[in-house]
Amino acid sequence: MEPEKPSGTENLAQNLVQAGVGLDQSRMDGIPPDALAAALETNLQTWVELLVSLDSPDCVMTDQVKANLRRLCDYVSNLTLGQGVKMAETEIDTLVNINFQISEGLLEGIARNK
């Protein structure tokens, strides 16, 4: 028997974690300065992917959850496009924490629906 392939939601959750880790690691000593720009771009792309998935017919999230995620996507994109690499450390921390918390929520939703 083949192992079960991850769902689109599981992939999104994994991508959010990876993007959050990338953001966090981009600030470490010895990392090239353009690493933060690349991590911010990856994070933004991940959020756009999540936003697109909300309109999929396969999306089983409630309208309220979808609306909350859309607001978070707006926050992430406005912060990223508005501040870019000049973003304060606290704002990067916020993005990392949002990614981890939303990833956890997505995975909990999957577990509840199984």
What ranges in 1-114 are assigned the alpha helix state H? 8-25, 34-54, 63-83, 89-113
pTM over 0.75: yes
* Residue 29 exposed, middle or buried by CB count within 10 Å (0-12, 13-18, 19+): exposed
* Residue 78 exposed, middle or buried by CB count within 10 Å (0-12, 13-18, 19+): exposed
Per-residue pLDDT of the chain (114 residues; tens, 9 = 90+): 555 555 778 899 999 999 999 999 998 878 887 999 999 999 999 999 999 999 998 888 889 999 999 999 999 999 999 999 999 999 999 999 999 999 999 988 877 766
Other CB atoms within a 10 A radius of the CB of residue 55 amount to 9
